[in-house]
Structure 1
Amino acid sequence: MFLPLALLVAALCLALAGWAGWFVVADRPVVLRQLWGGAVVEGVLVLQGVVLAVVQATGDQDVDGVLLWGYVVTQLVVVPVAAAWAFAERTRWSSVVLLVAVLTVAFLELRLLQIWAA
């Protein structure tokens, strides 16, 4: 797996988590700019999926494909579902949903690195 891309995903997720956490503390709902931040995270996740597909197709790394792609697909689903939920829920809890979602993606990214290294 391309380590700088994985670190970028984790850094973006943690930055967005900090921003959403600030909104939780301030008792504010998610704003559109945060959802755009989620879209940036999603775009990088799609790019990472393409890179993983190419690397796995070339056979450079022998990993469990079902486990790897289970994590990749889960990451790709979590952010849009959280964004839709946060958009529909216009209370403080929308910020909590976004915070939990991006922290989940950051931890899934760590797990992807572990799977790839095994």
Structure 2
Amino acid sequence: MTFDGYMIAASLVCAAAAIAGIIATIRVRHAADSSIIGLALVELFLIVFGIGHGLMLAQGHTMAGPGLEFWGYFLTAIIIPPIAFFWAVTDKTRWSNLIMAAVAITIWIMIWRMNVLWYVGANTMFNL
């Protein structure tokens, strides 16, 4: 699998958001601003990721896997952070921070799968 700039950026953003959420779970008794900001950065990254890949397709690049699966992953990934945000705002416990950390990790895994679909194809789930 190719670790392009998007994959490296996703790794950094999602790791920072997950670490912030885990630390906030340990230290704070409510949804922390650091967890919410981390989740917002993950969502912002997903928007840039979608625009970037849309532009690459418009310029003639092709993906190795099925486009429907790639964009299905993308649409699912882009709606998960807002759901976690509204959960965190209404839950008001320390565990909402852990949910936001888990969402960041989940989004990273989904981006990894989209990267596999883009460069390798659909039949090779664990190629590195």
Q: Runs of 5+ in structure 1 lacking a partner?
A: none
- C-alpha RMSD of the superposition: 1.9
Partners of 1:34 and 1:26 in 2: CA distance = 12
Q: Percent identity?
A: 25
Of residues 81, 84, 87, the one that matches 2:86 is 84
* Pairwise CA distance, 1:27: 5.5
Q: Structure 2 length as normaliser, TM-score? A: 0.82
8 Å Cα contact 1:20-1:30 kept in structure 2: no
8 Å Cα contact 2:84-2:100 kept in structure 1: yes
Partners of 2:6 and 2:119 in 1: CA distance = 15
Partners of 2:74 and 2:4 in 1: CA distance = 15
Partners of 1:30 and 1:12 in 2: CA distance = 19
Q: Structure 1 length as normaliser, TM-score? A: 0.88
Of residues 102, 105, 118, the one that matches 1:103 is 105
* Pairwise CA distance, 1:10: 2.0
Deviations, residues 75-108 of structure 1 (Å, cap 9, x unaligned): 1111111111111111122112111111100111
Q: Runs of 5+ in structure 2 lacking a partner?
A: 121-128
State the one-letter code of the partner of 2:41.
V
Aligned to 2:95: 93
